[in-house]
Structure formats: C-alpha cells, structure tokens
Structure 1
Amino acid sequence: MKKTMMMALALSTISYGAHANFMQPNTEIDSVGKHVVINIPQLRLFVYENGRLAKSYPIAVGKGRTQTPPGEYKIGAKAFNPTWTVPPSIRRDRAKKGLPELKSVPLGPSNPLGPVFVRFGDPKLGLGIHGTSKPSSVPSFASYGCVRLKNPNAIEFAKFIDSGSRVSVLYQQGMVNVDGNNNVWVAAYTDPYNLKKLDPAAVKAQANEAAKKHGKTVNDKLLTQVLANRSGQLNCVTCGQGAKKVQGTLQPVKQTVAAAPVSKPAQTVIPPALEKIPASEPISTPDSEESEYFIQPHQPVDWSSQLNTKSDEDFTRLW
C-alpha cells in the first residue's frame, strides 16, 4: 500500500512537455490517426497522433475489486456537462439511511463524471474516460472501472480525441525506453490486480538488446533490483557512474524477436458506439461507480471558461 501511494505521488508531479520524463509503453501504435493507450499499473493515459506522442495524463483506474478491463476498444459518444445516473447500489444505501430518493446528479461539484464523459467500448459496459468530483483521487486505483482525469485534462482530452479512435488498455508492468543519448531506461510497476504479468527475463532481454544496439552495457545488478523493487521510478541501467538524468525525450524500444513481447490484448476490437447521447441524457457507469462519494447539494458550475469555442465546435452539444 505504501509503495503504491509513493508511486501515485511521483506520477502526480510529472507534467507533459517537450521533454517528457515518463516511460512510454512498449506496444504497437497506429501510424495513422489518433490512438489512446492506457497502462493500468503505470496510472497513465497516452494519446498518439499519426504514430507520435501528442498528450499524456495521470489517471485513476479501477480498484482491485472493480478492475478496469484490459483490451481493445474504440472511442464512442461524448457528453459535455453530463448528468450521472445514480447506480442501484447507492440508491439502496440511501434508502436504508432514510435519505431522499436520488436517481441522478446534474452538472455540479457533486457530479462524479466532472464536466465531460467520453465513452469507450460497448455502451453496455458503461465504461468511460471522464472528469471527477474528487481531483485528489488522480492518480490512484480508486474507480469502479472507469478512467478518471482531472477536469482540465478531461476537457482537453475530449476536445482532442475523435470518436472512432482506437483505445488500447494495457497491463504492462515492465517498460524499456531509450533517451536522446541512447541510454537505456527501465521502470517496473506493482501488480495492483495480481495478474502476475511481469516477465523479468523478457524485460532483461529487451534492455540488453537495446543497449547492444547503441554500444552500451547494462548494469545487470541494478536492472535486477529495479525489476524486484517495482517502485515505478525511472532507472538508467546504462548510465554508469555518471549523471542519471533523462536526455531529450524517452522513446519506447521497438519490438524484436528476442525482446519482451509487445502488449497485444487478445480481446477483439470493440467497434465504436453508434449511440448519440441526447441533451440531458443521464450517463450510466458500472454499478457502484463512485460510491465513495457523498451526494452534496447541487450548485451550478459553468465550464465554458475552460472551453475554447472560438476555434472548436460548440462543446455544449452532445455526440
């Protein structure tokens, strides 16, 4: 638990920029169009455009009991200023406490969906990438299956991503990247869902092959420690005794025969949702989603100041 909290704190301090100092997953990225990659153990969402990293955000994903399901999906409908449908479990709990019936929560500080909800996968799954009424929960393993972003990031993401874009939800515990000086960096993450997906031998093979390609030598003792500790911290395994600072932008190591296998979920791609969400339509999420929240009196919130409607479509519209 302590290790997970430390990793979450470290992730929350990493900001996206021209020289991003976070690891990118070793996975196949679409060379054309936009592609969303979510790595559960890393608590991070990546957005690629035409094969290049465009944006990245810290996220909250499902708890151990209510996991975010790995797989391949498509971005579906979007809803700005959504109304949240209160799950049956919360409604039953409120009834037991003698509280008034509450079927939905409109836009406001108590709405767990925040200012926007972006569907991914079949609507029946109830999965979405959305904002939050509890920004302190990002990054963490805190949701009931959905992916949470801090509200400004959720708005930016929704404006940028296209319906129909591919979404890859990965469970990659070990990653190998190379920086601008061709030094090899490795990070290993905890196993929040106890899936035992980390293959130390495969990660070592990938790191050594990348080092050999660039005329570097891997510190095997350090690499072994990194894979054992699984702290989520960046570790240069070829820097020697010199300064261990990322030079330039970290880039994921390409797949080769001898390297660790690329994350490629076996689940088939779920086609984009054909639904159109009409105005004021309540959004359903997995049962018990956000049940840790207490429903507070609604106070209207105007998100228009965070939307650049001069250069974009009218985002009060739902689609």
Structure 2
Amino acid sequence: MTPDVWLPIPPDEIEGLPEGPAYRFWNGEEEFPADPADCAFYVVPYMKPSGIGVRPLPDMRSVQVVQTLSAGIDHVEPGLRHLAAGVRLCNARGVHEASTAELTLALILASLRGIPDFVRAQDRGEWLGGFRPALADRKVLVVGYGSIGAAIEDRLVPFEVAPVVRVARSARTTARGPVHPLTELPALLPEADVVVVSTPLTEATRGLVDADFLTRMKDGALLVNVARGPVVDTKALLAELESGRLTAALDVTDPEPLPPGHPLWQAPGVLVSPHAGGPTSAFLPRAERLVVDQLSRFVNREPLRNVILTTGA
C-alpha cells in the first residue's frame, strides 16, 4: 500500500522528494487533504496557532513519524498521547540555528547600544548622544547549550566578548570548553553581564527563570530569552524591570502573542520582538532539505535524524 505523507509545503515546490509515497499538502486548513488514518509520515505545519498541528493526530492510526519544522516540540507533545507505541518524533535541528543566533546577537547589540532609544529619538528629531555599554569584554552566559546555543556562541566570539560560559542539563566538554550542569547555575549567574536563555520548554525548564534566578543576576545585567515564553516567570521579570535593576530582550513571552495593554509593552528597559527567531528567508531552504533527507531515509528504511523520542518507549 502506498503510504501517505502530509507536508505543509506544496510537494511540487520541493526538489528531490523520493518516489513512492503519496504526497498530501496540508498547512493547517479546516479540511484535511485525505483520511488521517492513512498518513504514515506527518510534517507538522509551522508557526500555526496552538492546537492546529495536533488536530489530526487522534485519527493518525498508521503514522510512523511526526516531524516538526521547529526546534521545540512542546506544541506537539499534548497530542502524542493519541498515538500508538513506536511513533518517532523528530525535531528540526539544523533548520533554525542560523536565524535564531542572528536574532539573538541583534537583540543583545540593540539592547546594549540603545538602538530602541535612538529610534524613538529619531522620531522626535532628537540627537541622543552619550556612552552606552559595548558587547566587547562582556561576560555572556548561555543557558541551554544545544545546537542553537552553540550557534549563538559562534556569533559572539568575533565580538571580543569575555569567554562564554555554557550551561546545559548535564555537564560535558566541547571543543570550545566545558558545559556546566544546571546545578551550577546559581553560582554562575552573579558573574554574567548578559544571560541568554535558549533552552527547550520542558517540565524541568518551565519557570526556570524565576524570582530566585533573576535575583542572582548582577545589577544592570541583560536577560535575553530566545527559548519559550514560559521558561521565564513574567511577573518576577516585571518586578526586576520596573525596579530598573535588570534589562531584557524577549523574542518570546508568556502570554504569547503579548496582548495589547500588557505591562511588558511599557516596562522600562525591555525590547520585545514577535517570536521572530525562526521565520526568515533562511527557513524554507533548510526546512526543505531536512524534509527531503528525512523522507529519503524513511523510504529507504535508514535511521532518521533528530529523533527526540519514540512513543511508548
């Protein structure tokens, strides 16, 4: 029987798809392109409202692979309970590193050098001079040192920062130096001028950046969140921003989208970007290469890349 493959990109726009499967285009529309029960390989629509991507999962009784086009899998996890044992969930490692790391660097530079203030001053026709912090010589702590965290460090190094300090779930050694475990975070936070959060959202990281975490950060430090909004306790962050002790650059927020009138919009010292880390011109070619590679492996019964978990395991 010919397996169905659901793609959120029109199949005729993707070069190199392997022959064999019946390709169905579905990008979150109300009507399904075919019976979900026949789908063997499901590529989840990207950047859709909560609940869209998991909607067909309860009926996908034959699915063998669920492939996200995002680095995180938190938006898919609620639907996994509907799947049979043995379904592989794969993320999009290799797709978002460049774009997210670019934005992280832009947020750091814009915040330290006062770019939002310059834009507002330009609107008023005001020449706003004065000294600003440089990124050079700053101590940067990266919390969440996976492929995105490593890509962020790649872009920080040419800016002559002090040695980057890396933190992940468990300790290890990389070519650039040690990665500290999360248990050492309390001792590392007081030394950092810039704290970049790039962790996945899990039960272990939800609320990781809480009042205690923020209190340990040094006066005048910058918090940058390019992970997920719920990793940061918004109420605790607001208290630090409103006191003027910390500043923040947030590509993700909790709640998200940030509603009109939310206190974060007007909090002093905060720069908000609308979850813009991934959706750039770099996304589509990398996403298509990932899909082609994964489907070729699937058709040829070769090991898949980026397997995060297997249901029932």
Judge same fold: TM > 0.5, yes or no.
no
TM-score normalised per structure 1 = 0.25
More strand as a share of residues: 1
More helix as a share of residues: 2
